[in-house]
Amino acid sequence: MRRYTIADVFTDVPLQGNQVAVFTDATGLSAETMQRAARELNLSETVFVFRSAEPNAHLRVRIFTPTTELPFAGHPILGTAFVVGRAMGSNVVRLETGLGVVAVTLERTDGGAPVYGEMEQFVPEVVPFEAVDELLVALGVDEYEGLPIEGYPNGPVHVYVEFASEDAVATLRPDIGAIERLGEYGINCFAGSGSRWKTRMFGPALGVAEDPATGSAAGPLAVHLVRYGRVPFGTEIEIVQGVEILRRSVLRARAEGSESAGVERVFVGGSAVVVARGEYLLD
């Protein structure tokens, strides 16, 4: 039997945010078993925790969607830090991922329970996205006037499509099958201004038709916005996601740097709440 914890991430309200299951001791489990367990649970992601040989890390994690393993994902890292952080008693939890070590800084109550966490993500590169016309058709967009549609690898490759208003994002009815045929992308549709932004993320080829909260997309969105001058470097933006699927989430992100140096550091933060614990027969 393997013990697991379920946390709702990027929310402080149970039954909101994005769920993640965390198996706190996955020693000896095969990749096949972990993938089958993630498919059984059918959450956006499931995390399996191991000891780490990396001297700068406390623990090593492997992250699975129902259909594939990801080298990194945001809400699983934040949720795992909340789950293991209280027992560790440390204000910083360093988790080894497939992209490297991610540090999560935790704010705690007087009783020691984490109430907020902030991770320093990797600074993503910018990659071209070739299937712009096909994507716009899948989204039902006839004329596009937003920022350039580009990709940012950060675990999955996240692609960003700007809309004129939050209502336009809310009323989207995309062709999920057509988006799936584009490949393993997270398609992020966003709108907003200043420090307030709204997003929806569609990733059917990743096993998630629509994601309630995408931490790995929040950092690149901040990067995208500062690159094109929509927000100043160092501005913390608030991102609301998941409303349309009744899992409201709030993510905070900022990209630090300067016009001369570009983006130098990326941070993403939010709350999480533990909602369930149990055991699974995996051995």
All residues at 6 or more sequence positions from 245 whose CB lies less than 8 Å from its CB, including other chains: 210, 212
Residue 6's Cβ-side half-sphere holds a number of Cα atoms within 13 Å equal to: 18
Please say if 45 is a catalytic residue.
yes
Beta strands in the chain (DSSP E): 2-9, 18-23, 45-51, 59-64, 69-70, 92-97, 100-108, 114-121, 127-128, 150-153, 157-162, 185-193, 196-203, 208-211, 237-241, 249-258, 262-270, 272-280
Q: Of 32, 45, 238, 244, which residue is the catalytic one?
A: 45
C-beta of residue 127 within 8 angstroms of C-beta of residue 160: no
Residue 2's Cβ-side half-sphere holds a number of Cα atoms within 13 Å equal to: 21
Using CA atoms, how far apart are residues 254 and 257, in angstroms rounded to an integer? 10
Tell how many helices (H) and how many strands (E) occur in the chain: 6, 18
Q: How many CB atoms lie within 10 A of CB 105?
A: 18
Q: Is 174 exposed, middle or buried (0-12, 13-18, 19+ CB in 10 A)?
A: buried
Pairing of β 45-51 and β 18-23: parallel
Q: Active-site residues: which are they?
A: 45
